[in-house]
Amino acid sequence: MSTKYVLGIDIGGTETKIGVVKYDTSTKSYALQECFILTTVKGNVGLTIENIRRTVNEICSRYGKLTHCGVGVAALINFRDGVVVNGPNLGWVNINLRSKLEQELKLNVIIDNDANLSTLAIYHHEVKKKYKKVDSMVCLTLGTGIGGGIILNGDLFHGNPYSAAELGHITMNIDGGICGCGNTGCIERYVGARWFIAEIIKELKIDKPKTVIYELVENNLNNLTPKILYLAAEKGDKYALVQWQRYGKLLGIGISTLVNIFSPEVIAFTGGVSLAHKYFLPYLKKEVERRVWPVLRKKNNPSPLIKDLKYHIAAGQNYGVLGAGILAVRTFL
Which residues of this chain interact with Zn ion, rule CB under 5 A? 169, 179, 181, 183, 186
Work out how close the CB of 188 gets to Zn ion at its nearest, in angstroms, rounded to a whole number.
5
Rounded least distance, CB 303 to Zn ion, Å? 29
CA distance 305 to 200: 35
Comparing CB distances to Zn ion, the nearer of 186 and 217 is: 186
Residue 173 or 223 with smaller CB distance to Zn ion: 173
Closer to Zn ion by Cβ: residue 176 or 282: 176
To Zn ion, the closest distance from the beta carbon of 144 in angstroms equals 13
Q: Minimum Å distance from CB 181 to Zn ion?
A: 3
Q: How many CB atoms lie within 10 A of CB 46?
A: 10
Strand partners, 257: none
Smallest gap from Cβ 324 to Zn ion, in A, equals 25
| Residue 232: strand, helix, or coil | helix
Using the minimum distance from each CB to Zn ion, give the nearer residue, 181 or 241.
181
- Give the side-chain half-sphere CA count within 13 A for 144: 5
Residue 128: CB atoms within 10 Å? 19
Pairwise CA distance, residues 289 & 299, whole Å: 12
Is 41 or 181 the residue whose CB approaches Zn ion more closely?
181
Judged by DSSP in three states, 316 sits in: coil
Query: Side chain identity at 279, as an amino acid letter?
Result: Y
Q: How far is the CB of 96 from Zn ion (least distance, A)?
A: 25
Q: For residue 94, which phi and psi values (nearest 5 degrees)?
A: 45, 60
Residues 6+ apart with CB under 8 A from 221: 201, 204, 205, 213, 214
Question: What is the per-residue DSSP string for 75-96?
Answer: SEEETTTTEEEEETTTTEEEE-
For residue 170, the minimal CB distance to Zn ion (Å) is 9
Phi, psi of 135 (to 5 degrees): -125, 10
CB-CB contact of 6 with 66 (8 Å): yes
Least distance from Zn ion to the Cβ atom of residue 203, Å: 23
Output the smallest distance, CB 197 to Zn ion, in A.
17
Q: Which CB sits closer to Zn ion, 89 or 331? A: 89
Phi-psi region of 78 (alpha: psi -120 to 50; beta: other; left: phi over 0): beta
Give the Cα separation of 250 and 283 in Å (integer): 9
Nearest to 20 by CA among 62, 82, 79: 62
Q: Is 305 helix (H, G, I), strand (E, B) or coil?
A: helix
Measured from the CB atom, the residue of 121 and 186 that comes closer to Zn ion is 186
Nearer CB in complex with Zn ion: 190/283: 190
Smaller CB separation from Zn ion, 88 or 282: 88
